[in-house]
Amino acid sequence: MKLTPLDIKKQEFKKVLRGYDAVEVDAFLDTLSAEFADLQKQIKEMREQAIESEVQLRDFKQKERDLQQVLMQAQENSSRTIENARKEGELIIQESELKASQILDHARMEIMRAKEEVTNLRAKKEALISRLKVLLNSEVELIKALEADEEMTRRDQSQGTGREQFQIDDVLKRL
């Protein structure tokens, strides 16, 4: 049986001759009723607080789970980011090494081409020098022949032998 403060206040007892003082019993019941009402009020408030505390506890537990999940995701993201950065760094190094190798190969090829070009130019220079020497020697020979022919022509003109034509043909044959 659930008692309420009103039940306690309205409770009536049988009257007997040598029983308790009715005023005293009524005063006690009034006090008891007030105390019981206060206790019920406190119990109600405590239940509300308990419910509120349970709601807060559930909220805190949910927040804790959320925070743990966020922390785990952050750790996973951090690990992935670090791994990706490491892989990207390795890729950059590999690309750099490949580019450096290509640059070195290209430079070596350029050096080889330059050396070949220098060799070709030296050969062309030597050939040109040889041709120029031959040309100059033939020109010198031509000049000497022309000078000799001119001298003979002067001698022949003074002697009048007709050998001028013969000597010019000789000179042309030498060339």
**Least confident span in 35-44, 104-113, 129-138, 146-155:** 146-155
**160: pLDDT strictly greater than 60:** no
pLDDT tens for 57-74 read 999 999 999 999 999 999
- According to the model, what pLDDT value does residue 173 have? 63
- 42-81 in b/e burial notation, b at 16+ Cβ within 10 A? eeeeeeeeeeeeeeeeeeeeeeeeeeeeeeeeeeeeeeee
- According to the model, what pLDDT value does residue 172 have? 60
**162: pLDDT strictly greater than 60:** no
**52: pLDDT strictly greater than 90:** yes
- According to the model, what pLDDT value does residue 17 have? 73
Question: Residue 175: CB partners within 8 Å, gap ≥ 6?
Answer: 138, 141, 142, 145
- According to the model, what pLDDT value does residue 124 have? 94
Say if pTM beats, i.e. exceeds, 0.85: no
Mean pLDDT for 26-47 is 89
